[in-house]
Amino acid sequence: MTDLLALAAELVDIPSVSHAEAALADRVQSELEALAHLSVERVANSVVARTDHGRARRVVLAGHLDTVPPSTEGGARLSGDTLWGLGAVDMKGGVAVLIDLARTLVTSAVDISYVLYGCEEVERRHNELGHLAELRPDLLVADVAVLGEPTGGAVEAGCQGTMRARVVTGGRRAHTARPWTGVNAVHRLGAVLDTVGRFEGRHVVLDGCTYLEQLQAVRVEGGVAGNVVPDQASVTVNYRFAPDRDVPTAGDALAHVFATGLDPAQGDRFEVVDAAAGALPALDHPVLAALVAATGRPPAAKLGWTDVATFASLGVPATNFGPGDPLLAHTPDEHVSRSDLEHARDVLTTVLTTARF
């Protein structure tokens, strides 16, 4: 049986910051091409390996190879039954689990596609799963998908949508010694920030999972010079919305939040900068229901956006399930335990080999 902690440590020791995953993709490709029961394809820094047993259902097991940039020097560090290091949680521990499943599940109750891809931790336009969806959608055809993001060994269902919007306030320039002759757009922005501070998001329950909406100011811009009353200012906000709303509906709802405080006659406006839809939990799917049962833990809503939404956009129900505490992702204290890795492996093995759908 594979020592998952040691395998994860080997993966952590292969640097794979976004856009530089080639060495890790090479390692993964080599591992999977050595397995006779898999057919393997490489697309850029993504590797897809598939069984072809003629089963009635196909399950995608997916995970990203890239990490965020390091905050400290050093690679993997093992301390007892715990692995420390960049990517241990997000998500080389999960990748180790998928590699081990590929090695051991020579036969299974379903056909399996292992999808290990690059550039998840950067802007959506670089995401290689999205590129596969556009260029090689045949590689992602499945009845259901499980994304190995860290979830603490429980199912985190669906995901929130995300939207960035810009609220602009207008004004009229003047000399700061005579401000009454102008209108200060930065001062007018205060009411917009008050609106953000008072925002109370919906609590939306879907399949027993509660999605809590959030709104945060993430950028403020304004000012002309040290002696000029500014005639324009803006705040960029990030809205995390429940997956019962699509992007147009979420945009309308967010515009309504700010509508009463804006005056188009003064140049005020609301504009959506970018957005990505969320994904419904889909826990009524028999494979995902079996996954929840096998964890022995209640499911929770995924608070955040993940590539579960990419699969949902392809008509593939999907969920998040993997080893490691998600609160440790992207932190200097990133670590994962042997028991977390083995729990994830055992749960997925049970679902993929013994469940009947």
Closest CA to 299 of 181, 308, 92: 308
- Enter the tokens of residue 76: 């993997």
Residue with tokens 């990030």: 238
The active-site residue, picked from 120, 213, 334, 340, is 120
Instruction: Measure CA 71 to chain center.
Output: 20
The bridge status of strand 300-301 relative to strand 156-157 is parallel
- Enter the tokens of residue 326: 């998600």
- Sheet containing 77-79: order of strands: 77-79, 82-84, 335-337
- Enter the tokens of residue 53: 């047993």
Q: Dihedral sign, CA of 316, 321, 327, 329? A: negative
Specify burial of residue 330 (Cβ count, 10 A radius: 0-12, 13-18, 19+). Answer: middle
Percent composition of the chain: helix, strand, coil (DSSP 3-state, to 5): 35, 30, 40
Q: Is residue 156 annotated as part of the catalytic site, yes or no?
A: no
Specify burial of residue 356 (Cβ count, 10 A radius: 0-12, 13-18, 19+). Answer: exposed
State the Cα–Cα distance between residues 233 and 210, nearest whole angstrom.
35
State the Cα–Cα distance between residues 5 and 2, nearest whole angstrom.
9
C-beta separation of 241 from 234 below 8 A: no
- Enter the tokens of residue 251: 């945009």
Question: Which amino acid, 131?
Answer: H
Q: Is residue 120 annotated as part of the catalytic site, yes or no?
A: yes
Instruction: Measure CA 238 to chain center.
Output: 15
The active-site residue, picked from 21, 31, 66, 325, is 66
Residue with tokens 């995902």: 288
State the Cα–Cα distance between residues 226 and 238, nearest whole angstrom.
29
Q: What is the CA radius of gyration of the chain?
A: 23
Tell me which residues are annotated as active site.
66, 120
